[in-house]
Amino acid sequence: MNKENKVNKSTLVLLLFLFVCLTGFKNAKASDNITIACDDVYEIWVNGNYLGGGNNWTNAQTFSLDLNSGDIVAISATDNGGAAGLIAELNVNGDKIGSNSEWKISYSAASGWKNTGFDDGEWDNATEYGSYGVNPWSLNVSGMTSDTPAKWIWSSDNESDNSIYLRYTITINDESEEYPYNVRRGDDMKLQGSDNETKITQYQNDANRWGRIEVSAEAGDYNTVGTGLTMKIEARNEYGPTYPQRILLKTADQDRVVVAFDGNVGIGTTSPEDNLHLNGTGDTFFRISNDQTISGAAIGIQSNEDLLINHMDNNNIIFATDNAERIKILNNGEVVINNLRGTGTRYVCVTGDGTIFASSIPCN
């Protein structure tokens, strides 16, 4: 072999090594496994293939295998008395998935229930009995991590139902680069940024325009009331802080609360015209109450556009200026003005220049 061929062959080996490093290693699948414990006995299958079983809830067992979206986890579980429960954590391509009420449950083993083609649409949802650490199991499961998202689950009656069958269809996010933080029910989402600040950015499809929510924490004097840790949420966009932006809160696909660019807050309206703008349909009221009231007070607009101030408990309404009481409407309907009270044939009158006096005859 001549020198030139040796060089070319060495170069080819080097290029092949780099290719494997840059592609094979980058796309290598994270180690997958299932960690499970059951009070009292269980057996587990994945896609109809038997993995194993256990009969001691204080020792969780871990089964290592490749897991993918769409895989079926099937478990038979039996309780020998007392409170029953099962807890399981799936590690799938770096994601943690915990047992919860999305898992399906049945009280009988139908034909093919362990297999991928089985329809569990008629099965009930499991019932959650708390996160890892809850009584009666506490933190006594060896092999289960304290920060697991898994919940203890069983049927809705974990005292009487001694035999159950569980199924779970694994769902993982295949677009991990586009959505790096895929938070499932029961999981915690932890983000950490620099300078005590975390930014959640939403990009539009056109021209890479973006808007984002910036969440930041400012530490103060923890020994002084009112000056401890401050959490801030701020809406920003690519055009800078002076360009209009707002924060909108929605439920049931309906706009509920908006914080507008000028600081006005709207409830029931996305265009608040004052510091606090409440808008509704028909009778629309603010309700004010405290730990001493039963129903509290309501202030608002009736459907006929009348302004209503209503103390719904058996108490008075007071109007004051400069920290001094001026008018009081008693709960029996009588009115006291500047401590002058009209009762029976006694009247409280106001002259044109604002003088208030008591009179034994009706006011002119």
Write down the pLDDT at residue 71: 93
Number of domains in the chain: 4
262 and 334, same domain (yes or no) = no
- Is the residue at 181 inside a domain? no
The dihedrals phi and psi of 221, each to the nearest 5 degrees, come to: -85, 105
- Is the residue at 218 inside a domain? yes
Range of the domain at 347: 317-359
Sites in the chain below the pLDDT cut of 70: 1-30, 173-232, 235-244, 342-346, 364
Residue 219, number of CB atoms within 10 A of its CB: 10
Alpha-carbon distance of 47 to 70, in angstroms, equals 9
Write down the pLDDT at residue 214: 62
Write down the pLDDT at residue 28: 39
Distances (CA, A) of 304 to 220, 269, 298, 300, 308: 50, 20, 16, 11, 11
Write down the pLDDT at residue 30: 52
CA-nearest of 130, 349, 60 to 341 is 349
322 and 298, same domain (yes or no) = no
65 and 133, same domain (yes or no) = yes
159 and 101, same domain (yes or no) = yes
CA-nearest of 94, 97, 159 to 127 is 159
Alpha-carbon distance of 193 to 214, in angstroms, equals 10
pLDDT tens for residues 303-345?
898 998 888 888 888 888 888 888 888 888 777 877 777 666 5
- Is the residue at 193 inside a domain? no
Give the pairing of strands 276-278 and 265-267. Answer: parallel
Alpha-carbon distance of 285 to 254, in angstroms, equals 19
Write down the pLDDT at residue 1: 47
155 and 108, same domain (yes or no) = yes
Distances (CA, A) of 319 to 127, 316, 328: 53, 10, 6
Write down the pLDDT at residue 243: 62
Say if pTM beats, i.e. exceeds, 0.75: no
- Is the residue at 282 inside a domain? yes
78 and 163, same domain (yes or no) = yes
Write out the two tokens for 20. Answer: 């494997």
272 and 218, same domain (yes or no) = no
97 and 165, same domain (yes or no) = yes
Write down the pLDDT at residue 261: 81
324 and 225, same domain (yes or no) = no
Write down the pLDDT at residue 208: 47
